[in-house]
Structures are given as C-alpha cells and as structure tokens.
Amino acid sequence: MPLKLTPSRRDFLRTGAAVGAMGAMAPLASKVAFAQTPLVVGFIYVGPRDDYGYNQAHAEAAALLKELPDITIVEEENVPETVAVQRSMESMINLDGASLMFPTSFGYFDPHMLAMAARYPDVQFRHCGGLWQEGVHPANTGSYFGYIGMGQYLNGVIAGHMSRTKRIGFVAAKPIPQVLLNVNSFALGARSVDPSIQCQVIFTGEWSMAVREAEATNALIDQRADVITMHVDGPKVVVETAAGRGAYVCGYHANQSPLAPELYLTGAEWNWVEVYRTFVAAAQAGEPLPNFVRGGLAEGFVKMSPYGPAVTEAAIANAEAVKAEILAGGYSVIKGPLADNTGVERVPAGTAYVETAIELESMDYLVEGVLGSTS
C-alpha cells in the first residue's frame, strides 16, 4: 500500500473508527465523527461561578448556551485581573480551540484582553462592561453591557418609600464609572420620593472581601441606614448581615430573596443569555459580530426581582409607574441641573442623559445627597 502523506477525510474517519473500536480513545472518535466542528466559546470569571452575584449571572447564561447545537463551552473561574487572565485566554485559544472569548470582569479589558486581541487577530473577544471605541480598540474586540443603573434607580424608589430614618446605605466595591452610576441612581431614585433622604456609600476596595463587606454593612447600619443595597461581586454576605441587623435589602446581580425572605424589597438582576445567544448565532452563521452591544430593561438585558412582602402598595405603584416610563424609552435619571456632592455642577439645566448616553460610562462623581467620596 502506497504511503499517503495527506489522509483523506474518509481514511481519517476509518482510522478514528478503528481506534474507537479498540475502545481506548472513544471520545476522540466521536469528536472526529462529528459533522461540523463546534464553536468553542470561552468564559472567564473573576470569582466562583455560584456566588449569588455577578459571576453567577454570567455562568447561568453560559449554562443555557450549552443546550444550543454545535457549541462547546469552556469556563474558568477565580481568575484574577492580572496577567493570569492572559494565560487563561491563551490556553483556551491554543489548547481548547476557542474562537470566541467572553472575559467577564471589568479589569480584564485593558491591558489584558487588548493584548490578547492583538496577538490572536482571528479570535473574537467580547468584554462585559468595557468602553469599546471604534478606531481606538481592535476590530476583533468589543463590549456588551446592560443599563442596570435603571434597576438601581427603581431599587432607590422602593427604598425611598420604605426608609424611616431617611438614610440609606450602599456597599460598593471600587469607584469605577459603572459602580458610581449605580450609587447615584440608587440615591436619585430615593430622593425622587423624598429629597431629604441621604445615601451613604462605603467602598471596600475589592470585588470580593467578605469580612470587610460585613464590617461596611454594620458601619452603615450603625450610622442609621435602614435600607441597604450593594455593588460587590457576591452580595450574599451583605444581604445576610443587613437582614441580621433588621435592615431592608435591595438586591443586585441576581435574586437574593431566599437569603432574606422578609426583608428583601426588590433587586436589579442581570439577564445575559439573550446577549450571548446573539453573539453565538452570528459566530455560527459566519456573520460579523457586533462590537458594541447595550441594552436595558426594555431589551431584557436587565430585570427586577419580584417585590418582597414588606413593600407597601404606594411604593409598588410608584415603582411600576417609573418602570413603565423607562420601558417606553427616553427616560433619564441623570439630568440637569445636577450638582455633585461637593457642590460642583456636573450636568447643566436642560441637559438630560438617557440610559444609552455614552457620557454616563465615564462617570467620576457622586451626586448631591450621597455621603462619601470617590477617592
């Protein structure tokens, strides 16, 4: 038999079947017999996949993607926002053959994902929350995010009705634009109900730091706050600590009502699966992937937890009315005249930023009525 250097597909299948029959390499054989090479999608999380929060919201969507045909999902969790994420991406691309990457944490974008995108121009990278700009960033990168600030605004409306001390609290991780927009939205929502309400913010400095989150929650409640919300990766500690002290809780990232059934008011939740399905469908069809994807309550990127038993009728009526306006489109939370909490005017009278406004993604101030500072 002449030696063939390039075996035909049929030869390859026969060999594969023979090996498979030997039973030694059955998984390889089934892979070879697959008609179409599946799309390999890589997900990278900064924390554990089941943290009741940010990472869980992404991982739940990734789990739903696994049910689609011709797709392989590779995941890695607890990847720090350091050069470690570059190694994770390289291993997914080189060893698993990933052609679509979703590094989900904020700090992965610059410089790590951008460096990998330059090295692997054939791989598509889509980042959650990064501010992708055409011309500045490579064409094989992009970003997606949801306007969850509107959800925190609705949290604030409910909190404004439920607070008796007129002081509400926010446990925040880092003073980056998305966190600051959430803090400001929560405060403005409450102050739309009662302008005398003040919102105190404490930054823990880390996305996940259990003991400090618990201490921050206690410190807020010591300073009279009676409704607590948060923007940390895993809200479980904050929810349980606040409920243990008898304070109301507005959730974030996912539905935490099982942790505090009586005191949970409502919450702003992610709903990522539609976003991921859009990207995957485009990749499987061979079409170009969108670079900049954004959506809010109306697009189904964000949803609200069901109202808890403590929420009053008046609060629900108010929140539902605001929600209807948001769903109708064109609603602005950040609108002039608006001063920050040092008295500097940030938005002049007559200017209003709808949720899609790109200016909101570079927010670097806390509005009037927020106690705290960004530095």
Please tell me whether residue 214 binds another protein under the rule CB under 8 A: yes
Which residues contact residue 370 at a Cβ distance below 8 angstroms, ignoring those fewer than 6 apart? 170, 183, 184, 187, 198, 199, 200, 201, 341
Tokens of 74: 């590779």
- Give the β-pairing of 248-253 and 264-270: parallel
Sign of CA dihedral 153, 159, 161, 167: negative
Please tell me whether residue 36 binds another protein under the rule CB under 8 A: no
Q: Looking at this protein, which amino acid is placed at residue 160?
A: G
Please tell me whether residue 237 binds another protein under the rule CB under 8 A: yes
The span from the first CA to the last CA of the chain, in angstroms, equals 76
Burial class (CB in 10 A: 0-12, 13-18, 19+), 136: exposed
Please tell me whether residue 70 binds another protein under the rule CB under 8 A: no
Q: How far is the CB of 171 from another protein (least distance, A)?
A: 9
Using CB under 8 A as the binding rule, the residues of this chain from 244 to 263 that contact another protein are: 244-245, 258-259
Q: How far is the CB of 373 from another protein (least distance, A)?
A: 4
Q: Helix, strand, coil: what percent of the chain each, to 5?
A: 40, 20, 40
**Stretch 307-326: interaction string toward another protein, x if CB under 8 A:** --------------------
Tokens of 368: 């009037």
**Stretch 217-236: interaction string toward another protein, x if CB under 8 A:** -xxxxxxx-x-------x-x
How many Å separate Cα 184 from the centre of its chain? Answer: 18
Q: How far is the CB of 269 from another protein (least distance, A)?
A: 15
Using CB under 8 A as the binding rule, the residues of this chain from 75 to 134 that contact another protein are: 78
Please tell me whether residue 47 binds another protein under the rule CB under 8 A: yes
Please tell me whether residue 176 binds another protein under the rule CB under 8 A: no
Q: How far is the CB of 151 from another protein (least distance, A)?
A: 22
How many whole angstroms separate alpha carbon 159 and alpha carbon 250? 8
In the list 124, 241, 291, 318, the residue contacting another protein (rule: CB under 8 A) is 241
Please tell me whether residue 240 binds another protein under the rule CB under 8 A: yes
In the list 98, 146, 187, 213, the residue contacting another protein (rule: CB under 8 A) is 213
Q: How far is the CB of 258 from another protein (least distance, A)?
A: 7
- Return the closest-CA partner of residue 248 out of 315, 202, 341, 325: 315
Q: How far is the CB of 6 from another protein (least distance, A)?
A: 44
Please tell me whether residue 184 binds another protein under the rule CB under 8 A: no
Tokens of 126: 């889509």
- The secondary structure of residue 226, as a DSSP letter, is -
Tokens of 60: 């739940």
Give me the residue label for tokens 């938005």: 347
In the list 16, 48, 177, 336, the residue contacting another protein (rule: CB under 8 A) is 48
Note the residues at the interface with another protein (CB under 8 A). Answer: 47-48, 50-52, 78, 164-165, 200-206, 208-216, 218-224, 226, 234, 236-237, 240-241, 244-245, 258-259, 371-373, 375
